[in-house]
Amino acid sequence: MPSEKINFDYSIPKTLQINLTGTWLMSSGIPAVSEISSQLSSRGDVTRIIFDTSKISKWDSGLVSFLFGLSKECQQKNIKIDRKGLPQGVCKLLDLTEKLAERIKPQENREEPFLQRIGGKVLQLKESVLSLLGFLGEIAVPLNSLIAGKAYFRLDDFTLILQRCGADALGLVSLISVLVGVILAFIGAIQLQIFGAQIYIADIVGIAMVRVMGAVMTGIIMSGRTGASFAAELGIMQTNEEIDALKTFGVNPVEFLVVPRILALVVMLPLLTLYADFMGILGGYVISTGVLGINPVEYLNHTQSAVKLSNLWIGLIHSFVFGIIIAISGCLRGMNCERSANGVGEATTSAVVTSITSIVIATAIITFVCQVLGV
């Protein structure tokens, strides 16, 4: 490295004066900090460093980088740096560099005590529950206005959300439901063929799809598709301060944005569930009659006799509950989203995870209740 750019002067006691000369550009090469470190090691009495930069002709970020590295070296050796001899622009850039380095400085990975971690999780759960209850309270007021016929939201927006929650999801619901029916038929055939009772595949597919699987699969699909969409839309509105603008104009954002989304999903999810039930039974029918050799008429008769009206109502209750869960989860995460791109991503992910987890829990609860009631 070109050491001729650096000269040392020890005329002042316990002080090292560094004279910088020439061009200090990245393209022309910058001396290594180790040259000064060796000087400091050879003279152990140095407690202060000063500079003379009057002979520098040109400089860029290379000089700032050199001085920043020297500053870190001196901090380790408890040597004070006097910046009075440096150009004013260099001093400002050094200040900015040090502040940025302090912000991105990695935090020490200190293990929290076990009880402290448990307490933190409990407090987070408490905040989540309070946030959910507060959001439900904010929804209750507009719903009361809706029942009284005084709700305020645009019909065009509601119609568009209905289309997105319903017709636009038919393709995906069709594919998944048919495949679930096919899977149930094959799984049932594995055991029923042992006893020569393949005809009861119709009972398995029909009851499973109508009672639980149609609603559950549709709910999971809509969680990843519509619930995430609600969270992302409201999160972007929160980031762009559109929700704040609605509040400024005296418009309740929950009534204007959240209520139509909840209504749309609650209306469309039972209809999608009925469609999913039909497509799942159709998938089982095609496999049973085309691959497993079951008589089509006998298959349909068994399906009709096995699937009771109570099974259909239980499936619709599932779908109604799932619609509420998905809509509230997506809207809650979107309304509470942090105002950044990362916050929108986290809100979307959290909405999907919360919806699917809640769907599984709700399914278990409804199944248990139906078992207790003997339905």
More confident residue, 99 or 211: 211
Element (H, E) at 350: helix 341-373
Q: Which domains, and CATH codes, for the chain?
A: 3-103 (3.30.750.24), 130-373 (no CATH)
- Please tell me the predicted confidence (pLDDT) of residue 1: 41
Residue 142 pLDDT greater than 70, yes or no: yes
For the segment 29-72, what is each residue's pLDDT rounded down to a tens digit?
A: 777 777 777 777 777 677 888 888 788 888 888 778 888 887 87
Residue 252 has pLDDT above 80, yes or no: yes
**Phi/psi class of residue 234: alpha, beta or left (left: φ > 0; alpha: ψ in -120 to 50)?**
alpha
Average pLDDT over residues 309-335: 91
If you search the block for the tokens 């799932």, which residue do you land on?
Answer: 322
**Structure tokens of 180?**
């679930």
> Mean pLDDT across the chain, nearest whole number?
84
pLDDT at residue 3, rounded to an integer: 57
Alpha helices in 104-213 (DSSP H): 114-147, 155-165, 170-195, 201-208
Q: What are the CA-CA distances from residue 218 to residues 125, 169, 173, 245 (Å)?
A: 28, 10, 6, 35
Task: Tell whether the model's pLDDT for residue 167 goes beyond 80.
Answer: yes
Calculate mean pLDDT across residues 107-122: 75
* C-alpha dihedral (227, 230, 234, 235), degrees to nearest 10: 50
- Give 81-96 pLDDT, tens digit per residue: 887 878 878 788 888 8
| Strand 48-59, strand 15-24: pairing | parallel
